[in-house]
Structure formats: C-alpha cells, structure tokens
Amino acid sequence: MKSINDLLAFATGTHFAIDSTAMVTVDDGLAARNGLPVGTQWLAIRGYRQAEETSAPICRTEYYINRAFAAVGRLLQRHTGRLSR
C-alpha cells in the first residue's frame, strides 16, 4: 500500500468484527510497538477484518482510543461499519 486511498480500497467490501474491548495500561512492549506513552491508559479495541462473503479473516487489527473518549466502548459491540469517519 502506497497511499491512504490504497488503505481505503483495502477495506472496501470488508467488515471489522470486534473480538474484545478492554482498558489497558501501556507497558514497555506496547509502547515500543505503537509509540504510546508508558503508563497511560487506553481503550483497546481488537478484532479481525473479514471479507463480506466469507468469515475468513484478512487481518488482525487493534485500535487504541484515548481514555478521555473510552465511553464509546460501550457502544461498539452494537456498531457496524467504519470506526472512523
């Protein structure tokens, strides 16, 4: 993928199936992977992107939402569609 348009095209015809949501405290390993500050708390949304016509996963995805916005987590289990607009 070379552009944001490539990424958006990748998601076309797929859906994101949420596997888990949980508040996490960033440790050294997580900070090394994603650059978040050690010791901060984030809502972790984990799941699989799947093609609409099959249940086989295309990729594993993790989103991290700042604690200040973590209340959206209770809405996500009922949510379908994109997580961003």
Q: What is the pLDDT of residue 76?
A: 75
- Residue 26 included in any domain: yes
pTM score of the predicted model:
0.74
Q: What is the pLDDT of residue 84?
A: 56
pLDDT digits (tens, 9 = 90+) for 24-72: 999 999 999 999 999 999 999 999 988 887 778 888 989 999 999 988 8
**In the chain, how many domains are there?**
1
Using CA atoms, how far apart are residues 15 and 84, in angstroms rounded to an integer?
13
Q: Examine residue 65 and state whether it is found in any structural domain, yes or no.
A: yes
Of 48, 49, 46, 47, nearest to 12 (Cα)? Answer: 49
Question: Looking at the domain assignment, is residue 83 inside a domain?
Answer: no
Q: For residue 20, is it within any domain?
A: yes
The domain containing residue 67 runs over which residues? 4-76
